Amino acid sequence: MRWSKGWIAGAGVFSVVTVIGGAAFALAGSGAPSSQSGVAGKEVCSGQQLKAANAKGPAGVLSDQFPVGTLLRLSNPANDRAITVSVIGTSTGCAVLNTAALDSLSSAENEAGGASSVLRGIRVEIVGNAPAPVSTPTTRASASRVRQSGTVGQVVCDGATVGLSAVGGAPGAFSSQLPVGTSVRITNLDNGKQTTVPVVGVGSACVVVNSAAFDLVGESGKNVIKRAQVEKVT
């Protein structure tokens, strides 16, 4: 009986060929390592316009699809500008830009005439081994989530507005549903501002805040936060 073996390579694939008694047997394999799982470089928010929120601070984005801390690369093909930013909070959109991020991506001519609050054609990519997009729960009231602060919050007062009560004193809230002493974290989804205050009394709605608390998260000239997220802090 005669046998021999050899290698056949082509297009990145190798084969071990063994000939035994005139019959050939081939074992095929790939010369390249298998690709690792992950979403690095994955394009997301495809085809969506990127809106801006009147939120200050370093360049960042708000998102209802990605956890806080996710890194996203934003590229504007119209002017070749690109930045890499972190998701810094939640909002109603795949990626909502804060003021600094909007300024970084806007064209010079827009800056001169007042930048638009909506950018079109922006490419959004996940950077590094970031987590995949999270699905928005159908019932936010039962959703439990971990924030940068490390505290765990359960969304309450789902869909309710947060009103202003002209009461002085330290920042606090009044509630018709939550007991006195409960700590609530209030996020203004329109400007990205956030504060945590105790419930100090009974109110006429799920959550109403006093003047000091409203100054921390509200907008000048208004007496209600129409798009707010309220979380019970434990």
> What is the band of 153 on the pLDDT scale with cuts at 50, 70, 90?
low
**SS3 assignment, position 101:** helix
pTM (two decimals): 0.41
Q: Mark residue 102 as left, alpha or beta (left: phi above 0; alpha: psi -120 to 50; beta: remaining).
A: alpha
**Cα dihedral 169, 231, 217, 182 in deg (nearest 10):** 0
Tell me the one-letter amino acid at 109: E
Average pLDDT over residues 100-111: 74
The helix (H) or strand (E) run that includes residue 43 is strand 43-44
Q: What are 202-224's pLDDT values in tens digits?
A: 888 889 999 999 999 999 888 99
Q: Does pLDDT of 3 surpass 60?
A: no
Average pLDDT over residues 71-93: 85
**Percentage of the chain lying above the pLDDT 70 cut:** 67
**Percentage of the chain lying above the pLDDT 90 cut:** 15
Cβ atoms 71, 128 nearer than 8 A: yes
Can you tell me the distance from the alpha carbon of 21 to that of 76, in angstroms, rounded to the nearest whole number? 64
* Residue 62 pLDDT: 85
